[in-house]
Amino acid sequence: MEKIPFQTVQNSIDTICGIAEESDLEKASSHLFDVQPDLGGFLMEFIEDMSEGAQDLGFMMALILQKSFEDQYKVLRKMNEEEVVERFNKAEAELQNLLKIDDDVIADLQDKAAANGQPEIMNYIIEELFMSPDLEPTLEANEQVHLFIICKFFVDCLNELAMEKAPELVRH
């Protein structure tokens, strides 16, 4: 499967972070919920009890992540609610282990992403949440970890959908 290159991730960051008009942000938001309504809804439910700043950051990251996948793979099928819940239940133990995230866990996740995932996407999430010295808004440590968990889950779901599409990419 073709990995999403750094430039695609950077272009998505630039596009989403460059949105100046509220109407354009609403269009990007609507698009996310048009192409992945159940996955987007799951993300929103997961972050609903966080601070406003954490919610805003998590949602903007989801827009960037979704745009990166869409730019690379064009159209991915919608993951339905049953699939999202099933995928979450299957990944729950792994995600629970991320509550104890440290440098070793981050390095392991980067190695796994390089081997069979999306390394540039993983690097973006880690950089945004843990390595940025001037993270705005300032988040509590538990919010950083919880945003990391939901972003990783979101990306894992999108990556699973992209892998379904991979045989089509080979035929072209």
pLDDT digits (tens, 9 = 90+) for 132-159: 766 666 788 799 999 999 999 999 999 9
- Rounded to the nearest 10 degrees, the angle between the axes of helix 37-47 and helix 22-35 is 120
Give the span between the Cα atoms of 155 and 4, in whole angstroms.
12
CB 139 within 8 A of CB 151: no
pLDDT digits (tens, 9 = 90+) for 74-119: 989 999 999 999 999 999 999 998 988 888 999 999 999 998 889 9
Question: Is residue 5 classed as helix, strand or coil in its secondary structure?
Answer: coil
Delimit the domains of the chain by residue range: 6-171
Determine the pLDDT at residue 172.
39
Q: What b/e sequence results for 6-29 when a residue is b if at least 16 CB atoms lie within 10 Å of its CB, and e otherwise?
A: eebbeebbebbeebeeeeeeeebb
How does residue 169 score in pLDDT terms, banded at 50, 70 and 90? very low
pLDDT digits (tens, 9 = 90+) for 5-33: 999 999 999 999 999 999 999 999 999 99
pTM: 0.91
